Amino acid sequence: MAWGNDLSGIADPWTNRAACRPLTATIARSPSNPSRVDDLSGEFTVDTLASHLLRRMRAAGYETPGLDALASDIARFATQFAQAMDTDRVAIRLEIVETDACRRFHADDVTARLICAYVGPGTQRLDAAGTVALTADADPETLTIRDLGMGDVAIFQGRRWAPDIPAIH
Is omega for the bond preceding 31 within 30 degrees of 0, making it cis?
yes
DSSP state, residue 167: -
What's the whole-number mean pLDDT along residues 34-59?
88
Q: Please answer whether residues 84 and 5 qualify as being in contact, where contact means their C-beta atoms are separated by less than 8 angstroms.
A: no
Total Cβ atoms within 10 A of residue 168: 23
Higher pLDDT, 9 or 147: 147
pLDDT tier for residue 34 given thresholds of 50, 70 and 90: low
Tell me, yes or no, if the pTM score tops 0.95.
Answer: no
The residue type at 158: G
Q: Is the pLDDT of residue 162 over 60?
A: yes
pLDDT (tens digit per residue) in 105-155: 778 888 888 888 887 777 877 766 555 555 556 666 667 777 888 888 888
User: Closest by alpha carbon to 114, among 27, 37, 15, 39?
Assistant: 15
Q: Is the pLDDT of residue 89 over 90?
A: yes
Phi, then psi, of 126 in degrees rounded to 5:
-105, 150
Total Cβ atoms within 10 A of residue 67: 17
pLDDT of residue 91: 94
pLDDT of residue 3: 36
